[in-house]
Amino acid sequence: MNPARRPAFPVRLAPLALLLGAALLTAPAARAAPGTSASAAAKAAAPARASAAEQAAMTRGRTLLRDFYAVRLDGLWGAFSPGVRSQWGTLESFRSFRRDGLAQYGPERQVVQERTFTRGPEVFYVRSAAFEKAPELVWAVVLGFTGTQVTTFGIALEEDRSDAPVALRRTLNAP
């Protein structure tokens, strides 16, 4: 993998970066030890004070992401609001995006963190993970729920754990 290469998929939603930044600063978080399984990390990540809506978002988010990573996209696509669907065009273009991500980064290998938080009427689930072909990069997938509908979906580079020079990291993070 060429670390200077930009991600093969578009990092959509400029506000997503702001939302993710707010999530990292304000949401309770549990970090998993390297090599920790997703289920062990998930158990550690559910804060005792999470609201019922946040607990539901955690459960639903995990289910939808498990299918997303397995390229079983019909359920997630069906849960998308019309606005989220319009960002991706068609189910086939969304499927192509996911297949490209799988080809470039490989399967998820380490859950770094999971968290939930609420902003207005939307409840968010954020899962940060590293992947087999680029373990130094931590990607955050953000799902925002209004009821059971996914009203926000995006993926953003959260952290570069490599020893790459700062200039290179800025290039990777550039929109």
In tens digits, the chain (175 residues) has pLDDT values of: 433 333 444 444 444 444 555 554 444 444 444 454 555 544 444 445 789 999 999 999 999 999 999 999 999 999 999 999 999 999 999 999 999 999 999 999 999 999 999 999 999 999 999 999 999 999 999 999 999 999 999 999 999 999 766 555 455 544 4
pTM value? 0.72
**CB contact burial 124-156 (16+ within 10 A = b; e otherwise):** bbbbbbbbeebeebbbbbbbbbeeeebbbbbbb
